[in-house]
Amino acid sequence: MSAPDPTLLSLNVATVRTQWSLEQAIEGCARHGIGWIAPWRDKLAECGLARAKALIKTHGLKVSSLCRGGMFPAADDAGRRAAIDDNKRAIDEAAELGAACLVLIAGGLPKGSKDIAGARAQVKDGIAALLEHARAARLPLAIEPLHPMYAADRACVNTLEHALDLCDALGAGLGVAVDVYHVWWDPDLAAGIERAGKRILGFHLCDWLVPTTDLLLDRGMMGDGVIDIPAIRRMVEAQFYAGPREVEIFSQNNWWKRDADEVMRTVKDRYASAT
Ligand code: ZN
């Protein structure tokens, strides 16, 4: 297998979210020779869309994704409509930035609900309601299945198989984001990646720590955990995925507490040695 291509490394801004603004992250990528960036919408709003776009252009970066849209299920019609309206704004922002895709997280159960099948139906309806807008903007939507531990509160789409069933049902303009943190445990991972084929729109990197001390905010740096990342890279590259690889690490007790330039150096080193 070839070495990881340094020109495909992308910084998901969540990796340095406590240390840096979007502007600092853009400058940091340029300083460290990282050619891609994936902003989150809260940081984008702080910076301002036009200003972010200009800074990204000035520094010669490309945008691997905008994080994130989705979160479709709601307790009532007004809530569902609000989610769709917000997703349309996210599509417009992603298109304005020239992002390769908008990442969609399904959303979990509405407050008080125990109806996970109903929540999943709402996700399907929500994505269906966005597709025309996304196609018109030429902006691919990447459904990112999340690990099942988030089914209640973040995403009730938990496997590549489920995400691909949605793609099959809803048609063009949709694909998947493969995040090693969310899919590494799946006994059907190889089959899912093969089934995804050209619909792989994003590839996200971090590691699964043992023990994991927080369900959300204890992701590891590549090489520090138990995920065989090169094996998963081999699977996505076998499907001719040649797009960016986003390093996305939420780490409240470790990487978010370190000097951000040290984090960037480590990201580059580990991308080369452990992915
Ligand atoms: Zn991800």
Using one digit for the tens of pLDDT, what is the confidence trace for 53-89?
Answer: 999 999 999 999 999 999 999 999 999 999 999 999 9
Question: 181 by DSSP, 3-state: which?
Answer: helix
> Is 39 domain-assigned?
yes
Write down the pTM of the prediction: 0.97
Q: In sequence order, what are the residues at sequence separation of 6 or more whose Cβ sits closer than 8 angstroms to the Cβ of residue 114?
A: none
Count how many domains the chain has.
1
- Please list, in sequence order, all residues whose beta carbon lies within 8 angstroms of the beta carbon of residue 215, skipping any fewer than 6 positions away: 149, 150
Distance CA 85, CA 90 (A): 9
Report the DSSP beta bridge partners of residue 218.
251
Q: What whole-number distance in Å separates Cα of residue 194 and Cα of residue 229?
A: 16
Ligand 1 center–CA 204 separation, angstroms = 5
| Residues near 129 by beta carbon (within 8 Å), at least 6 away in sequence | 84
* CA 244–ligand 1 middle distance (angstroms): 12
Give 38's strand partners.
12
- Distance in Å, CA 150 to ligand 1 centroid: 13
Confidence check: pLDDT of 1 > 80: no
Q: What is the CATH number of the domain that holds 221?
A: 3.20.20.150
Is residue 24 pLDDT above 90, yes or no? yes
Residue 1: inside a domain, yes or no? Answer: no
Distance of CA 187 from the midpoint of ligand 1 (Å): 19
Query: Which domain does 85 fall in, by range?
Result: 6-274
Mean pLDDT for the stretch of residues 217-226: 98
- Mean of the per-residue pLDDT values of the chain: 98
How many angstroms does the Cα of residue 55 sit away from the middle of ligand 1?
24
pLDDT for 150: 98
Q: Is residue 210 part of a domain?
A: yes
